[in-house]
Amino acid sequence: MVTSADEMDAIWSYMRVFGSSYRVWVDGTDEATEGVWVTEAGEPMSYLGFTGDEPHGGTSENCIGVAPFFVFDVPCTANTYVFHALCEY
């Protein structure tokens, strides 16, 4: 779960090592209620960090994807992009 702009900047710095096509899923979904983003545990998200006109996928895009310098809503299945897991430790 990304909790601040500083944390997102750190993730983007890490991702740039892998190239511009590297994408990851991060914790967050609005599957239960469109537009209400919560963590996997059901807690309200304190930071979203969507870029540009995101999120704009409606009910077909309910998870959060991150690419270098871009945060967007995506389908919760890996049918559109190749996504990697990003684990916090």
Strands of the 84-85 sheet, one edge to the other: 70-74, 63-67, 24-29, 84-85
The predicted pLDDT at position 22 comes to 81
Tens place of pLDDT for every residue, the chain, 89 residues? Answer: 889 999 999 988 888 887 777 888 889 999 999 999 999 899 999 999 999 999 998 999 999 999 888 999 999 886 666 777 777 76
Instruction: Give the pTM.
Output: 0.85
Q: Where are the alpha helices (DSSP H) in the chain?
A: 5-16
Question: What's the total number of domains in the chain?
Answer: 1
How far apart are alpha carbons 15 and 8 in whole angstroms? 10
Structural domain for 53, as ranges: 5-85
The predicted pLDDT at position 15 comes to 84
Residue 10 belongs to domain with CATH number:
3.10.100.10
Report the candidate in 52, 60, 10 with the shortest Cα–Cα distance to residue 26: 10
The predicted pLDDT at position 69 comes to 87
